[in-house]
Amino acid sequence: MVFPISNFLFFFSLMSGIMISISSSSWFGIWIGLELNMMSFIPLITIKMNSYFSESALKYFLIQALGSTLFIMSSCMFLYTPQMSPLLLLTSLLLKLGSAPFHFWFPQVMMGLTWPQAIILMTLQKIPLMMIISYLLTYPSLMLIISFSAMLSAMIGALGGLNTMQLRKIMAFSSINHMSWMLMSITISDMFWILYFFFYSIISSSIMILFNMFQAFSLSELMKLNQMNIIHTLLIPLNLLSLGGLPPFAGFIPKWMLIQLLINNKLFIPLFFLLSSSLITLYFYLRITIFFFLLMNPFSISSKPLMSSPLYFHFTPFLFFNLFLLFLPLTFMLF
């Protein structure tokens, strides 16, 4: 079991904190939801009492507590300094989100988590913070700061994953890089960042579910997998290429749409940073996938039926989601 039965109460309160934050009509209610969310996630980190989980929980608590302090202070300052308060509020949200230049804590916390905990940190924990940032777009001056944070996150997320062999750190910097795309989509359309977040969550979760199934935490452990199994040989590389946004995989769809929106809005400078960072991230995704294709034995794979693998039925939805864009051009040929 991923989490003990006793910890499902904390997971329920974590989801309740998310719902309170995104549905509250006051800053105080949003702060209560964020605090409930934070205090529910920390017990989920410390399932096993060892130094790695305790260190990650302590780092996460300190950063989130600092962000919450700035958040409630900026909320109280709205009546006195309406010009300074939104900037401080955005700073607290970017700190809690792990976006550049406040990204330093995110890879360190990720290194002490298991894969199910990393899925929660990379997906569910971003929902209320992204929603609150979308509320602040009524201030035009903050859009420039969000764009600057997005461009900085794109380059840091791309360059940070180059010289590491740890899969959790690679996924952490990948999350920082994808955060830049979501921040830019927030400045353009409220609904589009939800679409991008949906694609990002499904693809990244499918990769981390595979890593958790094989208990792989580094590239060397990933290379020790059974290369005779077609599930190992094809599913992990194709999911990584889809996460990198390589056409014709599913991860290319939201990036393609955002590129069109950035061109239509004449945001060429952020587009340059986003595209440049995507090329760099594809490099360290290809560094992982090249091992699978080089070590693949086509004769052994072809001699083993695909349906004989017990993992086939578990991963068919993820495989279909990441590859359905391959069959998308066929729909145009039918009309």
List C-alpha distances in Å: 196 to 121, 243, 250, 257: 17, 12, 11, 9
Length of the chain: 335
Residue 14's pLDDT band (cuts 50, 70, 90): very high
CA 66 to chain centre: 22
Residue 231's pLDDT band (cuts 50, 70, 90): low
Number of domains into which the chain is organized: 1
Is a pLDDT exceeding 50 seen at residue 197?
A: yes
Share of the chain above pLDDT 70, in %: 83
Query: What letter would DSSP give residue 304?
Result: S
* Whole-angstrom distance, CA of residue 273 vs CA of residue 153: 10
pLDDT in tens, 91-112: 999 999 999 899 999 999 999 8
pLDDT in tens, 125-180: 999 999 999 988 888 889 999 999 999 999 999 999 888 889 999 999 999 999 99
Q: Are 315 and 231 in contact (CB under 8 A)?
A: yes
Closest CA to 136 of 93, 179, 86: 86
- Tell me the residue range of the domain where 171 lies: 5-333
pLDDT in tens, 298-325: 554 444 444 444 444 455 566 566 666 6
Q: Which residue has the higher pLDDT, 314 or 114?
A: 114
Q: Please, what is the average pLDDT of the chain?
A: 84
Closest CA to 101 of 111, 86, 110, 90: 90
Burial of 290 (0-12, 13-18, 19+ CB in 10 A): exposed
**How confident is the model at residue 279, as a pLDDT?**
92
Q: Which residue has the higher pLDDT, 84 or 333?
A: 84
**How confident is the model at residue 152, as a pLDDT?**
95
Mean pLDDT of 193-198: 92
